[in-house]
Structure 1
């Protein structure tokens, strides 16, 4: 699992890879944290759980990242050290329709909430669908997400 921050006109983008869909989602979330703050490793914070449901794999990624930004704004904590335990949906992660005919996707994850009072964080306003990519590649998954700053 890895990520790279990419300049994107007035915004910032995260390009991420992972061996699994779960690790790709976690890598994008870790990229979001890195785009928000340079140093947060020793800033403490409690772990919290995140559960998200959506109608598609891409919507699940969008809603997951949007939930992290919402929690930062509401709780005053920067979510860091992301762990995505499960991503489930049609076709067992292949993106194909399931035999049951449902298109529902879900995610179970956790992160550590670092108090914003303990760090010097930049504001990331929102996740966008602009240029969003989430695709299976040889050996894993690639994701590209643009954030409004």
Structure 2
């Protein structure tokens, strides 16, 4: 279980699997980091994220979008993702997550502009969960 980068016309895609929904969210986020940077230093401080959305797919989109936002605002490459995904009592979904922020000045990072809904998939499988996400580069 984990992720693989996939070529996608002018963009890049991440295909990820995980035994749980938490694991597949973390694996897609790790794939996003890999799409931006080949070698990641060991420095950086952890930070927390709290994302809410109306369904699982929207939650995955919003979580990844928030990571790109944090990259831009904090000036860090989010890596080593941990995510806890849950459905709330009112039918919405939450993702409580954390990541280690590596200073962008310490890495040679490629620009990933945005997450897209193009071909996005988030589905249960016999082995757990599978996600496929295309990023605009």
Give the alignment's TM-score, normalised by structure 1: 0.89
**What is the CA distance between 1:139 and its match in structure 2?**
1.9
Matched, 1:46 2:45: yes
Q: Which residue of 1 aligns with 2:14?
A: 14
Decide which structure has the larger Cα Rg and report it.
Answer: 1
Q: Which residue of 2 aligns with 1:61?
A: 60
Matched, 1:118 2:106: yes
Q: Which residue of 1 aligns with 2:87?
A: 89
Q: Which stretches of structure 1, 4 residues or longer, exceed 6 Å deviation after superposition?
A: none
Q: Which runs of no fewer than 5 residues in structure 2 stay unpaired? A: none
Corresponding residue SS for 1:27: helix
Q: Which runs of no fewer than 5 residues in structure 1 stay unpaired? A: 91-99
Q: Which residue of 2 aligns with 1:93?
A: none
Aligned length: 137
Q: Over residues 62-98 of structure 1, what are the superposed CA-to-partner deviations in whole Å (9 max), with x where a residue is unaligned?
A: 00000000000111000001011x21116xxxxxxxx
Question: How large is the RMSD of aligned CA atoms in angstroms?
Answer: 1.0
